[in-house]
Structure 1
Amino acid sequence: MIRARAIIDRDALAHNLSRVRALAPHSRVYAAVKADGYGHGAVTVAGALAAADGFAVSSLDEALQLRWAGIDKPVAMLSQQLDATVCEQAGEYGLEPVVFHETQIEALERYVGPALKIWVKLDSGMHRLGFAPDRVDAIVTRLAALERIEINGWLTHLACADDPSRPETQAQLDVFAQVTAGRPGLRSIANSAGVLGWPAAHADVVRPGIMLYGSSPMSDRDASSYDLKPAMHLSAPLIARNPIAAGETIGYGATWRTPEAMDIGVIGIGYGDGYPRHAPSGTPVLIDGVRVPLVGRVSMDMITVDLRNAPNAKVGDRATLWGGGLDPDEVARHADTIAYELFCRLTPRVRFEVI
Structure 2
Amino acid sequence: MTRPIRVEIDLSAIKHNYIQSRKQTQNRRALAVIKANAYGHGSTEVATALADVADGFALLNLEDAIALRDAGIEQPLTLLEGPFDEAETRLMAVQKIAGAIHGEHQLEWLRRLDASHPFEAWLKVNSGMNRLGFAPERAVGIAHALAALPGVRLSTLMTHFATADDERGVDEQWACFEPLIAQCGLKVSAANSAAIFRHPRTHGDTVRPGITLYGCSPFEGTTGTDLGLKPAMTLSADVIAVQSLRPGDKVGYGCLFQANEPMRIGIVACGYADGYPRIAIDGTPVAVDGRASRTVGRISMDMLAVDLSHIPQAGIGSRVELWGPAVPLEHVAACAGTLNYELMCAVALRVPRLYRH
Q: Secondary structure at the match of 1:297?
A: coil
Range that drifts further, 204-213 or 40-49: 40-49
Q: What does residue 45 of structure 2 align with?
A: 44
Q: What does residue 119 of structure 1 align with?
A: 122
Counterpart-to-counterpart distance in 1, 2:94 and 2:310: 59
1:56 has 2:66 as partner: no
Q: What pairs with 1:278-317 in structure 2 (closer than 5 Å)?
A: 278-317=279-318
| Deviation string, structure 1 residues 111-169 (Cα, Å, up to 9, x no partner) | 23511111001011111111101112331232123112011101100100111x215x1
Given that 2:20 and 2:229 are in contact with CA atoms closer than 8 Å, whether structure 1 keeps it comes out as yes
1:273 has 2:266 as partner: no
Range that drifts further, 315-324 or 138-147: 138-147
Q: What pairs with 1:109-148 in structure 2 (closer than 5 Å)?
A: 109-112=111-114, 114-148=117-151
Range that drifts further, 96-105 or 73-82: 73-82
Counterpart-to-counterpart distance in 1, 2:336 and 2:290: 22
Q: What does residue 237 of structure 1 align with?
A: 238
Q: Secondary structure at the match of 1:181?
A: helix
Given that 1:231 and 1:323 are in contact with CA atoms closer than 8 Å, whether structure 2 keeps it comes out as yes
Q: What does residue 196 of structure 1 align with?
A: 197
TM-score, length-normalised on structure 1? 0.96
**Amino acid in the other structure paired with 1:78:** L
Counterpart-to-counterpart distance in 2, 1:293 and 1:55: 38
Q: What does residue 23 of structure 1 align with?
A: 24
Q: What does residue 88 of structure 1 align with?
A: 90
CA offset at residue 179 of structure 1?
A: 1.8
| Deviation string, structure 1 residues 148-200 (Cα, Å, up to 9, x no partner) | 2011101100100111x215x11212211112223222100111001111111
Q: What does residue 4 of structure 1 align with?
A: 5
The equivalent position to 2:155 in structure 1, one of 146, 152, 155, is 152
Aligned Cα root-mean-square deviation (Å): 1.3
Counterpart-to-counterpart distance in 1, 2:3 and 2:214: 24
Q: What does residue 14 of structure 2 align with?
A: 13
The equivalent position to 1:77 in structure 2, one of 58, 79, 90, is 79
Given that 1:76 and 1:98 are in contact with CA atoms closer than 8 Å, whether structure 2 keeps it comes out as yes
CA offset at residue 221 of structure 1?
A: 2.9
Q: What does residue 105 of structure 1 align with?
A: 107
Counterpart-to-counterpart distance in 2, 1:2 and 1:33: 28
Counterpart-to-counterpart distance in 2, 1:12 and 1:27: 20
Q: Secondary structure at the match of 1:142?
A: helix
CA offset at residue 26 of structure 1?
A: 4.0
CA offset at residue 2 of structure 1?
A: 4.4
Q: Secondary structure at the match of 2:184?
A: coil
Counterpart-to-counterpart distance in 2, 1:88 and 1:309: 62
Given that 2:123 and 2:143 are in contact with CA atoms closer than 8 Å, whether structure 1 keeps it comes out as no
Counterpart-to-counterpart distance in 2, 1:98 and 1:292: 46
Q: Secondary structure at the match of 1:16?
A: helix
Counterpart-to-counterpart distance in 2, 1:340 and 1:65: 23
Q: Secondary structure at the match of 1:221?
A: coil
Counterpart-to-counterpart distance in 2, 1:256 and 1:151: 59
Given that 2:140 and 2:183 are in contact with CA atoms closer than 8 Å, whether structure 1 keeps it comes out as no
Q: What does residue 257 of structure 1 align with?
A: 258
**Amino acid in the other structure paired with 1:312:** Q
Counterpart-to-counterpart distance in 1, 2:206 and 2:346: 29
Q: Secondary structure at the match of 2:235?
A: strand
Q: Secondary structure at the match of 1:246?
A: coil
Q: Give the paired residue count.
A: 353
Q: Secondary structure at the match of 1:286?
A: strand
Q: Secondary structure at the match of 2:183?
A: coil
Counterpart-to-counterpart distance in 2, 1:286 and 1:79: 39
Given that 2:156 and 2:187 are in contact with CA atoms closer than 8 Å, whether structure 1 keeps it comes out as yes
Given that 2:290 and 2:326 are in contact with CA atoms closer than 8 Å, whether structure 1 keeps it comes out as no
Identity of aligned residues (%): 41
Given that 1:291 and 1:309 are in contact with CA atoms closer than 8 Å, whether structure 2 keeps it comes out as no
